[in-house]
Amino acid sequence: EAQVTQNPRYLITVTGKKLTVTCSQNMNHEYMSWYRQDPGLGLRQIYYSMNVEVTDKGDVPEGYKVSRKEKRNFPLILESPSPNQTSLYFCASRGRDNYGYTFGSGTRLTVV
């Protein structure tokens, strides 16, 4: 089944404790993105990648890191999480000729 897989689905952590949210897609897609979704603000892009080793900042990159060492994986790293990073996070991917993104199931992160 073609899909984008994120883990974990839910995560509660403490301020300053490094964490990684994993994202993997099995569709051989070139483009991958991370979004966060907050009430009233909608979906905002954090980082995106156009291919292996090619990444760029989105609208809200502060406090986040990403890497794209393999085509299928695009992890999101929070080096020192803060409470304002409490949010619902989505990973998404699309192919070169298909503009429509496929989204993962989401990760609900709470930083206390």
Partner 1 sequence: QKEVEQNSGPLSVPEGAIASLNCTYSDRGSQSFFWYRQYSGKSPELIMSIYSNGDKEDGRFTAQLNKASQYVSLLIRDSQPSDSATYLCAVLPYGNKLVFGAGTILRVKS
Nearer to partner 1, 56 or 79 (CB): 56
Here the tokens at position 67 are 């890497």
Instruction: Count other Cβ atoms within 10 Å, centred on residue 91.
Output: 29
Residue with smaller CB distance to partner 1, 12 or 14 = 12
Q: Give the footprint of partner 1 on this chain (CB under 8 A).
A: 31, 33, 35, 40-45, 48, 50, 56, 58-59, 90, 99-106
In the complex, least distance from residue 80 CB atom to partner 1, rounded to whole angstroms: 26
- 32 Cβ contact list (under 8 Å, min separation 6): 23, 25, 48, 49, 68, 74, 91, 92, 93
CB nearer to partner 1: pick between 15 and 101: 101
| Spatial separation of the C-alpha atoms in residues 47 and 60, rounded to whole Å | 8
Nearest-approach distance from CB 9 to partner 1, in angstroms = 11
